Amino acid sequence: MPRKKLMEPEELEQSAVLEQASGENTDAAAGEGEIMDVELPPAEMPPDVPPVEESLPPEPEAEPSPAPAPEKSDRQAFFDLNFNELDRGLTAEERQEWNSIYAFYRGRSALTGKIIGVDPLSISVRNRQTGDVERQTIYCAVVVPYRVRIVIPASEMWEDGQERPDFVLRNMVGAAIDFIIIKVDRECDFAVASRRMAARSQRYYFTHRPALHREGARARCRVLSVGPRRCLVECYGHDINLTQRELRYTAIPDLRNAYHPGEELDCIVKSYDAATEALRISVKETESNPFEGAELRHPVGSRRQAIIAGKYGGGVFCNLPDGTVCMCSYSYQHEDSDFRVGDTVILLVQRYDVEKRQMYGKILSKW
């Protein structure tokens, strides 16, 4: 076998020197060139350095509390009722009444009823400007179709800007009105209604029917409230004040003696403005004017029996049996204190004013 060549000592020293030189050249090349991606062993920690505290994991965020359930509206609460349980002990008439109220509440259609009273009640009212619910004591019209009490607050009687004083509402007992059910409290056996919502529907219907609002068209109006000099009527959702001149040709001392809430009167449409919903009507023009032909029935110089209907500005209004009104003065031997409204007198026909359509005369005596 061939023997391995042994190196001489001199050769060994040269080899070591070469290896040392080559090592220095390698370090220099590494220092001058790019840093190599070398994985270094972990450095040992000095014994006197305290250990680094480990960071704790972040605490989990608390889950947000669930939002409160929205409050149910009146209609939602109504539909959630158990009607079979609530209506179990009702008679046939009471069940029919409640079924009618349920149907009109669901369909938002109008009911007609008669006001039997006006009560001051403490109720919750939503402010139309702020939207807040306020507790107020207001007058409410009461309608009882059979056994159920239906209340209509004063705020739901009139449109905004057309509110009437409380005494007008208190004088509406006996009037027939239309209303829409806006809330049903079945557990307390009453309902809340709105007259102004029903009036809006009536006005809408009236506006879109040209045959109803043309000039000269005949219609019906309902008497709501009556005062000594004025009468409040409703015609297709329009609240109209009528004076004695628009009600009758004859003079009426006190309208409360001639008209009452709940009456229905024939009327004629005088004018209508759809933009402002302004309606003018006349009740007296459904009949002929008694002044027509009065000169033939009551010629100048004739004496007639009449009844004193009123006094105004020194003049005395006397109604003849045919409805003709004669404006009279007293004869020289009489004073105003000698005659009262309602007295029967004998008058003398003196003249006629065709332009004013007025008859004039003089009271001769009390009959």
pLDDT in tens, 312-362: 888 899 999 999 999 999 988 888 889 999 999 999 999 999 999 999 999
pLDDT in tens, 148-203: 999 999 989 999 888 999 999 999 999 999 999 999 988 888 999 999 999 999 99
Q: What percent of the chain has pLDDT over 90?
A: 58
First vs last C-alpha separation in the chain:
181
Look up residue 8 and give its amino acid: E
Give the separation between CA 355 and CA 261, rounded to whole angstroms.
35
Give the separation between CA 105 and CA 197, rounded to whole angstroms.
13
Token pair belonging to 220: 């019906």
pLDDT in tens, 236-293: 999 999 999 899 998 888 999 999 999 999 999 999 999 999 999 999 999 999 999 9
Phi-psi map region of 329: left, alpha, beta (phi>0 left; psi -120 to 50 alpha): beta
DSSP 8-state code for residue 254 = -
DSSP 8-state code for residue 338 = G
Token pair belonging to 268: 């004629």
pLDDT band at 124, cuts 50/70/90? confident
Instruction: Report whether 117 contacts 173 (CB < 8 A).
Output: yes
**Which among 24-28, 54-58, 137-141 has the top mean pLDDT?**
137-141
- Helices (H) and strands (E) in the chain — how many of each? 9, 15
Look up residue 292 and give its amino acid: E
Beta strands in 69-188 (DSSP E): 111-126, 133-143, 149-153, 176-185
